[in-house]
Amino acid sequence: MTPGMLERELRALGVRAGGVLLVHTSFRAVRPVDGGPLGLIRALRGAVGPAGTLVMPTMTDGETVFDPRTTPSHGMGITAELFWREPGVVRSGHPGGSFAAEGPEAARICAPQPLSPPHGPDSPVGRVHDLEGQILLLGVGHSENTTLHLAEALAGVPYEVSHPTVIEVDGAPRTVLVAETDHCCRGFNAADAWLRALGLEREGRVGNATARLVGARDLVTVALERLRADPLVFLCAPGAGCEECDLARASVGRSGPGIG
Ligand SMILES: [Zn+2]
């Protein structure tokens, strides 16, 4: 697969030239690509064009002081890890929940943000949403779709879990607790059926990967409606044996009005 072929597939899927595109990807699912992950990045850049902005998650484990110029991402895949290291790419400063962006809206998307919640309205995913960006899931499902945490924050869901995160205070490392709406995120996969039923998700193939494309506004609108009907809709059922979701459930009622 050449970058040019992938670019045509991305356009056929519905990626908008000149728009903001937030990409969650597993290169393993897309390959083989000429040029490897950098070839995929070239295809994505080509699809949004010079007037478009490309965004990827570059989250870190929070175990060391975060330096956007050097700290490797954690569990975000090789494509995102190579993307933030490319010249001209901006990286945001959240010690656990950073994103990288390249293009005209990159500085706005990566502007400073509050520590908590990492993915609220005033965060990279919140700004992609404000800019009416598109979300591309390339070889991954909605369980990787960080923008659903934005919907949780906007809905004011009643659960939150705090993660120890190292930040620098007066030149010295200090561990602080960062509250976020965390759980196993398998429940996010329900968004597929919700979006399909409304015709709001484009599905196709890009390289060898299953690709899903959705507008950030559409996604958040649909998720908010479901969260209003059931604020715990994204958590695994009690007794399902999911430790992470049990932890989130246990926080309900303890954490005040919710993180949003
Ligand atoms: Zn779970």
Its sign, for the CA torsion 90, 92, 97, 103, is negative
Distance between Cα 75 and ligand 1 center (Å): 18
Give the model confidence (pLDDT) of 42-95 as tens digits.
999 999 999 999 999 999 999 999 999 999 999 999 999 999 999 999 999 999
In terms of C-beta density within 10 A (0-12 exposed, 13-18 middle, 19 or more buried), how is residue 7 classed? buried
* Confidence check: pLDDT of 256 > 90: no
Per-residue model confidence (pLDDT) at position 253: 84
Distance between Cα 244 and ligand 1 center (Å): 6
Distance between Cα 166 and ligand 1 center (Å): 26
Distance between Cα 236 and ligand 1 center (Å): 4
| Distance from C-alpha of 174 to C-alpha of 176, rounded to nearest angstrom | 6
Question: Could you say which DSSP state residue 188 is in?
Answer: G
- 192 phi, psi to nearest 5 deg: -55, -55
Distance between Cα 143 and ligand 1 center (Å): 10
| 87-114 average pLDDT score | 98
Distance between Cα 120 and ligand 1 center (Å): 21
Distance between Cα 128 and ligand 1 center (Å): 26
Distance between Cα 102 and ligand 1 center (Å): 33
pTM over 0.75: yes
Distance between Cα 233 and ligand 1 center (Å): 11
**Mapping DSSP to helix (H, G, I), strand (E, B) and coil, where does residue 255 land?**
coil
Percent of the residues in the chain that have a pLDDT greater than 70, as a whole number: 98
| Distance from C-alpha of 40 to C-alpha of 4, rounded to nearest angstrom | 9
Distance between Cα 245 and ligand 1 center (Å): 4
Question: What is the overall mean pLDDT for the chain?
Answer: 96
Distance between Cα 188 and ligand 1 center (Å): 10
67-71, 159-163, 239-243, 250-254: least confident range: 250-254
**Mapping DSSP to helix (H, G, I), strand (E, B) and coil, where does residue 91 land?**
strand
Distance between Cα 12 and ligand 1 center (Å): 34
* Confidence check: pLDDT of 28 > 90: yes
* Confidence check: pLDDT of 217 > 90: yes
Distance between Cα 6 and ligand 1 center (Å): 34
Distance between Cα 238 and ligand 1 center (Å): 9
Indicate the helix (H) or strand (E) that contains 81. Answer: helix 78-84
**Beta-sheet pairing, 20-25 with 53-57:** parallel
Distance between Cα 187 and ligand 1 center (Å): 7
Per-residue model confidence (pLDDT) at position 89: 98
* Confidence check: pLDDT of 258 > 80: no
Distance between Cα 203 and ligand 1 center (Å): 25
Per-residue model confidence (pLDDT) at position 254: 78
**Mapping DSSP to helix (H, G, I), strand (E, B) and coil, where does residue 163 land?**
strand
**Beta-sheet pairing, 161-169 with 172-180:** antiparallel
Per-residue model confidence (pLDDT) at position 255: 57
Per-residue model confidence (pLDDT) at position 180: 95
Sorted by sequence, the CB contacts under 8 Å of residue 89 that are 6+ apart come out as 83, 100, 101, 102, 106
Under a CB-based contact definition with an 8 Å cutoff, are residues 172 and 129 in contact? no
* 3-state SS, one letter per residue, for 194-243: HHHHCCCCEEEEECCEEEEEEEHHHHHHHHHHHHHHCCCCCCCCCCCCCH
Q: In the numeric block, which tokens belong to residue 158?
A: 């009643």
Give the model confidence (pLDDT) of 6-23 as tens digits.
999 999 999 999 999 999
Predicted confidence band at 245 (pLDDT cuts at 50, 70, 90)? very high
Give the model confidence (pLDDT) of 139-195 as tens digits.
999 999 999 999 999 999 999 999 999 999 999 999 999 999 999 999 999 999 999
Indicate the helix (H) or strand (E) that contains 161. Answer: strand 161-169
| 228-244 average pLDDT score | 96
